């Protein structure tokens, strides 16, 4: 009997995984996480009575979507050593506060890059060729009545300027190369591995661009990087596509330029005050609007799951994180 008793080992408590999310955000693989970890969710229904005590011991935080992480959150969870992000952008995480505390941070890495690049090209084609506007024209019954429909503009051979030649921007460039477009870019530094023309100033880039793609990270330096001067340089036939963050563009100026016809159009997946969209844009056929969905496909979610789970597993195994910034 004693030998049999010795064979029975007490089960280990699964590692603590703190989930940090806004009420509207929840990842599809939460159920799997609950089989591997003690998941601490402050928004659990019903509430977990052990959360207040256990959360103070959690060493890793899973930040879902753009849920803010700053000094207050890090004070609330003093044992956190790593924040695992699930979005490509990191403007919602106070990286300086994390660095001061020695907290490591990861992002979604390349999980969304292909899908966002596809979407950016799609928005540009839609604006130039007026695909969505043509759809509305037909659905409204205007074709038999008006006969003529305003011509769109050719995509092939255009000059494409990319603000932010990172994971997404480089993929955008490759897609437009297939259209015979010439590529130029602005980035934090010159990319030695590409032959595209580099402009240190976004105004200069816009002056030599027909299609301006905005896909850089939102930081203090890039806030309103697309301003009045950039739009003026882009001119009446140039278009802007934004798949980065809304605040990369001075939205008030953008509305004025579009309403006055001082730029050719815009394809916008992101806005400065989401989910609110300036009402002036709703009636403009030169503008294609999208509800911040460029990243969302079944394939991107599968890739995100792999990255997030890989980072969590690496942390608890004391291995290098997959997408540490």
Residues in the chain: 325
Is pTM beyond 0.95? Reply is: no
User: Which residues are known catalytic residues?
Assistant: 245, 274, 292
Buried b (16+ CB within 10 A) or exposed e, 11-41: eeeeebbbbbbeeebebeeeeebeeebbbbb
Provide mean pLDDT across the span 205-220: 97
Q: Is the pLDDT of residue 189 over 90?
A: yes
Of 156, 122, 150, 163, nearest to 264 by C-alpha is 150
- Would you say the CATH fold of 113-289 matches that of 2-111+298-316? yes
pLDDT tens readout for residues 225-273 = 999 999 999 999 999 999 999 999 999 999 999 999 999 999 999 999 9
* CATH number of the 113-289 domain: 3.40.50.720
Homologous superfamily of domain range 2-111+298-316:
NAD(P)-binding Rossmann-like Domain (3.40.50.720)
- Structural domain boundaries in the chain: 2-111+298-316, 113-289
pLDDT tens readout for residues 94-137 = 999 999 999 999 999 999 999 999 999 999 999 999 999 999 99
């Amino acid at each position: 009997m004693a030998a049999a008793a010795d064979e029975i080992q007490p089960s280990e408590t699964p590692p603590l995984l703190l989930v940090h999310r806004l009420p509207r955000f929840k990842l599809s693989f939460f159920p799997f996480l609950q089989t591997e970890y003690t998941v601490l969710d402050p928004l659990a229904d019903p509430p977990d009575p052990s959360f207040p005590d256990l959360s103070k011991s959690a060493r890793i935080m899973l930040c879902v979507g753009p849920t803010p992480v700053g000094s207050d959150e890090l004070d609330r969870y003093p044992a956190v050593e790593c924040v695992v992000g699930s979005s490509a952008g990191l403007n919602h995480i106070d990286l300086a506060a994390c660095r001061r505390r020695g907290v490591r941070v990861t992002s979604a890495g390349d999980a969304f890059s292909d899908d966002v690049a596809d979407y950016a090209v799609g928005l540009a084609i839609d604006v130039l060729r007026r695909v969505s506007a043509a759809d509305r024209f037909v659905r409204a019954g205007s074709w038999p009545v008006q006969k003529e429909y305003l011509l769109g503009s050719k995509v092939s051979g255009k000059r494409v300027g990319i603000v932010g030649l990172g994971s997404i921007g480089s993929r955008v460039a490759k897609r437009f190369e297939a259209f015979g477009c010439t590529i130029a870019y602005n980035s934090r530094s010159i990319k030695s591995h590409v032959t595209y023309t580099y402009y240190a100033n976004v105004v200069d880039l816009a002056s030599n661009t027909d299609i301006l793609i905005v896909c850089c990270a939102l930081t203090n330096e890039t806030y309103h990087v697309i301003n009045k001067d950039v739009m003026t340089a882009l001119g009446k036939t140039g278009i802007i596509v934004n798949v980065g963050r809304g605040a990369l563009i001075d939205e008030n100026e953008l509305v004025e330029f579009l309403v006055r016809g001082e730029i050719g159009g815009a394809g916008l997946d992101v806005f400065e005050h989401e989910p609110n969209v300036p009402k002036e844009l709703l009636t403009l056929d030169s503008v294609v609007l999208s509800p911040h969905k460029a990243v969302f496909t079944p394939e991107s979610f599968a890739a995100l799951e792999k990255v997030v789970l890989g980072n969590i597993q690496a942390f608890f195994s004391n291995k290098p994180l997959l997408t540490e910034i």
